[in-house]
Structure 1
Amino acid sequence: MPGLLARYEQLIADGQLQPDTDQRRAAVRLDALQKELEADAPGGLLGQLFGRKKVRPQGIYMWGGVGRGKSMLMDLFHETLGIPEKRRAHFHAFMQEVHGRIRDARKDVVGDPIPVVAERFADGVRCLAFDEMVVSNSADAMIMSRLFTQLICKQGVTVITTSNRPPSDLYKDGLNREHFLPFIDLIESELDVLALNGPTDYRLDRIGDLATWHTPLGDEATAKVREAFFRLTDFAPEDAEHVPSEELPVGGNRTLHVPKSLKGVGVFSFKRLCGEARGAPDYLAIAQHFHTVIIVGIPQMAPDKRNEAARFVTLIDALYENRVKLFATAAAQPDELYVAGDGSFEFERTASRLNEMQSSEYMALGHGSDQ
């Protein structure tokens, strides 16, 4: 099987990718890592010389804005890596599995269960690849340094991950962040940090001809946001029933069910987001976790829907301030959603933001309130 770099260059030659300096630099480094891992395999060159792996190859942390090609390179890396002892996972799903394994380990382990959990994860795995590393809750932050120290330094697992943020910005302003700082030190000492932060958002190119606000409600509007989802995630539309869901932590012990969640894109119904009792922490968790949000079924709100309108204002504020891309199906244009009732005057600012969020200038902004 051709290696990553050969496949990457072929995609450029075929016109499927554009030449990109940052991408190629990362592809060269990933290709070198592939060769190290394959040479250290039991049947590889170093395996033949020493009978077992002597040195753990240095892992990689790729970060950059949305649409810079991180996930594409990760897909190529995993697909072309010629060893069986590999695993690729979405980071959030992996951490959910970690918490489950910790609970199970505590039933029969005296003391700290982390070393045991790490050993079990490392069984049969030499290379662990994550997409979209993001830390949005203290429960993950509290265990990540200890867990990954065990995986990388004790178990010898090579870790490759992507993130929208540089290591120093992970869990920024998070609760008890001081407990998380050793994890940042671990990344910077044990992984090569590569920036993919070029000027071109290739994912945005894929949706450049799609409108973001679709009205009136109906099959046509639904089809438009569905198309946006599949363009953004590269998921096969014919396999739509297998799009994963997610339980997003939103504070305390609460989670929010996300019916469709993939590669930083979350799909929600207005009824779930604003028809139920929710507050700013819920909406902030969504805005920080997803670079793109799709909301379906936004109604025109009469005066008796003032609570729903107020929640919608808080939701849009969080999305706007974190520069989240929004696709929506709605019963009316933003200026006509809530024109009478308590808070309707304040709603005018929300309508203005919704109109701005449809602009090419807003769509070109990077995700995150600090960018």
Structure 2
Amino acid sequence: MRTSARFLQQVRCLYRFHRGEISANRLGKTDKVSIFNHPVVGALIGREADRYLNQSLLFFRAVCTSGGSCDVGGAGPLLEYEKRIISGELVGGDSFQIDTLQALQRLYEELVEHEESCQLDRYKSSQKSGRRRWLWSRFMPQSTYSPVKGLYLYGGVGTGKTMLMDLFFNQLPSNWRKKRIHFHDFMLNVHSRLQMHKGVADPLEVVAAEISDESILLCLDEFMVTDVADALILNRLFCHLFSNGVVLVSTSNRAPDQLYEGGLQRDLFLPFIETLKERCVIHEISSSTDYRKMGSAENGYYFIGKKYSGLLREKFHQLIGAEKPGPQVVEVVMGRKLQVPLGANGCAYFPFEDLCDRPLGAADYFGLFSELAPLLFCINYMQFVVYMEKFHTLALEGVPKFGIHNRTAAYRFVTLIDVMYENKARLLCTAEASPVELFERIVTVMDAQKIYPRSSSRSKKTDDIDLCVDNELGFAKDRTISRLTEMNSKEYLEQHEANVKDNKTPQK
């Protein structure tokens, strides 16, 4: 696989050189020797590189699908990645992305090879419900660990983790039992299922049986543990899931050993880290490139200063068109409701305090922007059917600078941006400062020690009294800053407009 992937990289490198996109100085020594001395590729100099590139890929794919000796396989994320780069849909990644794609390609091929033993085909797998499977396991205990290990991808913000995982997921056969879901949304669903199975000896075992019955391959995006309730159940939940044959693919900004660092009762969480390492290959994307910031970032709808409150409302009214805005109510989960101060035509207007300075969480934000959670409840429990107003745009007034005085609001704002980004929603806002400056008082323990070194734990008079030392928030802020930057880029806003036009439906 590496040889074939290397060859494609060399062809693409020659293509860019021929087009004048890169100079000879940008080519590595190995690339120069292997490309220009290649008996076939070398003959292309001065010819139509475009034509050869397309033909070589077609030939490469044909060999792979006809049972030839090609070791990449006839499909998978690696070839799809190359195809999208050639078409201009993606920017060529660095060696770290290529390395990650090779890991995903290996996993893809292993899953294809073990499709039957992993029971991935939904039409061939058992039709027993989760509860019936759990009852049967009471009499016939058994463990069916998957012969294939999962993959845990972690790295800095904007390195393409989500894009690469989605690339992998979208190449999987449609008949497989698979699910791609944000970690926040996944845990909300777990807690809702637990409520339904109160009174059972081990409700987590029943929930795990239900989840594994629906999805053997589970792709979780943005694995980040901040809630003590989640931390206390994760090990038992995933022990049951892995025992039922589930294969986990996840992305995270944190290495496994850094998950829930400094959290309450972390000693009870530590066994989960070992379980994760045992059932997943841990892969770091070491790239320092933030691809979200490579777009043509503009101010977009991000206005700095209170003086723009009037402009924010003006933009809001422009977006809703002729419709008259008014208060609306959104059903969340388990009978809860969220009051929307102003809403119309898929656009919602909130003061920051109403959305991030109240006891709200991921469930409320998913209720505003996502239809995924209600769909899950509708399928499994008829009494939980809810009809939710889905918004694609949020106007948020008065985002403040964050510090120790409003740390909980900062956590909610981070979660809000995560949910909006996951659902490709548009953000209009007024803020006290730029995205970077909003979080400048949020630091990790290591950063705090660099800023204010001391030999004792006593505070110094020169310390910033509003400095918030919080490892989880300190790591999460980089992701939020990166996403805010991308959400105000020309590319993101144009894609949002296209999505709204394609998916526009009458309001309920």
TM range (shorter): 0.5 to 0.7
CA radius of gyration, larger in: 2
2:159 to 68, 76, 83: 68
What is the CA–CA distance in structure 1 between the aligned matches of 2:275 and 2:145, rounded to whole Å? 21
Alignment size in residue pairs: 282
Code of the aligned partner of 1:134: M
Q: Partners in 2 of 1:242 and 1:267 — Cα distance? A: 6
Report the Cα distance in structure 1 between the residues aligned to 2:313 and 2:162, rounded to whole angstroms.
30
Q: Aligned partners of 1:147 and 1:207: how far apart in 2?
A: 43
1:106 counterpart (198, 214, 231): 198
**1:180 is matched with which residue?**
269
1:129 aligns with 2:219: yes
Pair 1:317–1:87, CA change in 2 (3 A): same
- Out of 21, 28, 32, the position equivalent to 2:95 is 21
Q: Distance in 2 between matches of 1:7 and 1:137?
A: 37
Deviation at 1:320, TM superposition (A): 2.5
Contact 1:66 1:201 (8 Å CA) reproduced: yes
Q: 1:319 aligns with which of 439, 455, 460?
A: 439
> Following superposition of structure 1 onto structure 2, how do residues 1-371 of structure 1 map, counting pairs within 5 Å?
2-15=75-88, 16-42=90-116, 55-82=146-173, 83-107=175-199, 109=200, 111-152=201-242, 154-210=243-299, 212-213=302-303, 216-217=308-309, 218=311, 222=315, 241=346, 254-256=359-361, 257-258=364-365, 259=368, 269-270=396-397, 280-286=406-412, 289=415, 296-297=429-430, 319-322=439-442, 366-367=478-479
Give yes or no for contact 1:129–1:161 (8 Å, CA) kept in 2: yes
Whether contact under 8 Å (1:64, 1:164) holds in the other structure is yes
Q: What amino acid does structure 1 have at the position aligned with 2:112?
A: E
The 8 Å contact of residues 222 and 296 in structure 1, kept in 2 or not, is answered as no
Deviations 1:102-154 (A, max 9, x none): 111114x1x221111101110042200011111111011110111011111x1
- The one-letter amino acid of 2:280's match is L
Distance 1:221 1:61, change over 3 A: farther
Q: Distance in 2 between matches of 1:9 and 1:250?
A: 41
**Distance in 2 of aligned mates of 1:209 and 1:106:** 50
What one-letter code is carried by the residue in structure 1 that aligns with 2:360? T
**Counterpart in the other structure of 1:234:** none
Q: Structure 1's 209 and 125: CA in aligned 2 closer, same or farther, altered over 3 A? A: same
SS in 1 for 2:440: helix
8 Å contact 2:149–2:281 — kept in the other structure? yes
Alignment RMSD, CA only?
A: 4.3
Quickly say closer, same or farther: Cα 1:138–1:86, change in 2 above 3 A.
same
Amino acid at match of 1:99: H
- Measure how far apart 1:318 and its partner are: 7.1
Q: Aligned pair in 2 of structure 1 residues 124, 7: CA closer, same or farther (>3 Å)? A: same
Tell me whether 86-95 or 164-173 shows the greater mean CA deviation.
164-173
For residues 285-311 of structure 1, what are the alpha-carbon distances to aligned partners after superposition, in whole Å with 9 as ceiling and x for unaligned? 23664778967255xxxxxxxxxxxxx
> What TM-score results when the alignment is normalised by the length of structure 1?
0.63
Change over 3 Å in CA distance of 1:64–1:322 after alignment to 2: farther
How much has 1:162 moved relative to structure 2?
0.4
Q: Give the Cα–Cα distance (whole angstroms) in 2 for the partners of residues 180 and 368 of structure 1.
A: 25
CA distance in 1, matches of 2:262, 2:480: 13
Q: Provide the C-alpha distance between the structure 2 equivalents of 1:105 and 1:167, rounded to a whole number of angstroms.
A: 30
Asked if the contact 1:287/1:322 (under 8 Å) is kept, the reply is: no
1:268–1:187 Cα change, 3 Å: farther
Deviation, 1:161, is 0.4
SS across alignment from 2:439: helix
CA distance in 2: counterparts of 1:31 and 1:54, whole angstroms = 21
Alignment CA distance shift 1:131-1:207 (3 Å): farther
CA gap of 1:124–1:368, structure 2 versus 1, over 3 A, is closer
User: How far apart are the structure 1 equivalents of 2:296 and 2:441?
Assistant: 22
Identity %: 28
Structure 1 residues 318 and 165: alpha-carbon distance in aligned structure 2, compared to 1, 3 A threshold:
farther
Structure number with greater CO (CA < 8 Å, separation at least 6) is 1
Cα distance, 1:368–1:67 mapped onto 2, change above 3 Å: closer
Comparing 121-130 with 35-44, greater Cα deviation is found at 35-44
Are the structure 2 counterparts of residues 105 and 56 from structure 1 closer, same or farther at C-alpha, using a change threshold of 3 Å? farther
Quote how far apart the aligned CAs of 1:242 are.
10
Q: Matched residue of 2:286: which SS?
A: coil
| Whole-Å separation in 2 of the counterparts to 1:222 and 1:22 | 41
Q: Decide whether aligned partners of structure 1 residues 76 and 175 sit closer, same or farther in structure 2, where only a CA change above 3 A counts.
A: same
Is the 2:155–2:253 Cα contact (8 Å) retained in structure 1?
Answer: yes
Q: Kindly indicate whether the alpha-carbon contact (under 8 Å) linking 1:61 and 1:161 is maintained by their aligned counterparts in 2.
A: yes
Structure 1 stretch displaced more, 10-19 or 158-167: 10-19
Q: Conserved in 2, the CA contact under 8 Å of 1:58 and 1:191?
A: yes
1:43 deviates by 9.8
- What does residue 346 of structure 1 align with? none
Structure 1 residues 208, 35: closer, same or farther in 2, change over 3 A?
Answer: same
Q: Are the aligned partners of 2:159 and 2:290 in contact in 1 as well (CA < 8 Å)?
A: yes
